[in-house]
Amino acid sequence: MNVKHLQDEILKLKSQNDVIILAHYYQPIEIQEIADFLGDSLKLSRTAKEASTEYIIFAGVDFMAETASILNQDKHVLIPNPESCCPMAAFLTPEKVLEFKKNFPKTPTVVYVNSTATVKAESDICCTSANAVNIVKKISKEFEVNKVLFGPDANLGDYAEQFSKIKTIKMPPEGHCYVHSQISIEDIRATKNQYPNAKVLVHPECIREVREFADFVGSTSQMYNRIKNASSDEHEFIIGTEIGLLERMSQDFPDKKYYLAKEKLICYNMKKHNLELIKYLLENLDDKFHEVKVPSEIAKKAIQPIEKMLLYS
């Protein structure tokens, strides 16, 4: 079955069921095209909270589906491939959070939404790459301190510290995203030398040296909007994030030229979903193997830092 036929079948099945499909920008382009809502972690968190359907199919990694479950305990959240996990989230466990809190009492705990439900449950507030600086500022002011615990991405923590002027104690110091942390300053310079007129856009999960070389640093949605609002004399862009965003922008803004900051910027975990699995789910909405259900006792604790993030954003 070809892609277009599969997409048509999915759209037909979706119209017959009480279901919405949420997809992250890093999903394969053919999945992005059939999603009801497309966005970064913050936008998708808000969309999940406002969902009115009984079923939510989440084409993203596991922590995203968990967040949707936390916000919608009365709904069925389904993930096409249950093996789609986030290696960054695995850097931080609730046990590690509790150890950091013990060593740094009265210090607020900020966890990136790229974390498990059990980690969120031990935090004071969540953040995304789009709002990390603002969240660190607000929670430190609330606690009347000049430092926060921050995890699991150390590079995003460094970015938040750099622009908030609030000390971020990294939980753990080695936490990172393997897609963004692999971009080196040599990669960026080499690509810039090849395309000297291109503007450089990178994600805050990149290392500081790369971020400081860039013309723009932002989340996936912020990069998307930067291109959307680009001036008429800006024609070329070097993109320092996962290839899925480049594919999205190539479709939406075809008058521009895009170059990856380096080859193979691919989140293989995000790419574990496919149209066949989504079609299967729409035909088998009650398949418990694909359902992500955060236990109520965890959800009750984890929803508080998520809702505080949404309030502060």
Is this structure's pTM higher than 0.85?
Answer: yes
Around 305, how many Cα atoms within 13 Å sit in the side-chain half-sphere? 28
Query: Which phi and psi (to 5°) does residue 293 adopt?
Result: -130, 110
Digitized pLDDT (tens) for each residue of the chain, 313 residues in all: 699 999 999 999 999 999 999 999 999 999 999 999 998 776 787 788 888 899 999 999 999 999 999 988 999 999 999 999 999 999 999 999 999 999 999 999 999 999 999 999 999 999 999 999 999 999 999 999 999 999 999 999 999 999 999 999 999 999 999 999 999 999 999 999 999 999 999 999 999 999 999 999 999 999 999 999 999 999 999 999 999 999 999 999 999 999 999 999 999 999 999 999 999 999 999 999 999 999 999 999 999 999 999 899 8
In the CATH scheme, what is the homologous superfamily, with its name and number, of domain 3-83+270-295?
A: NadA-like (3.40.50.10800)
Evaluate whether 3-83+270-295 and 185-260 have a shared fold.
yes
Q: Where are the beta strands (DSSP E) in the chain?
A: 19-24, 37-39, 55-59, 76-78, 109-112, 125-127, 147-151, 167-170, 199-202, 216-217, 236-240, 257-260
Domain 89-177 in this protein, CATH class: alpha beta
Fold of 185-260: Rossmann fold (3.40.50)
Give the 3-state secondary structure of residue 124: coil
Domain ranges of the chain: 3-83+270-295, 89-177, 185-260
Q: Are 187 and 262 in contact (CB under 8 A)?
A: yes
246 DSSP 8-state letter? H
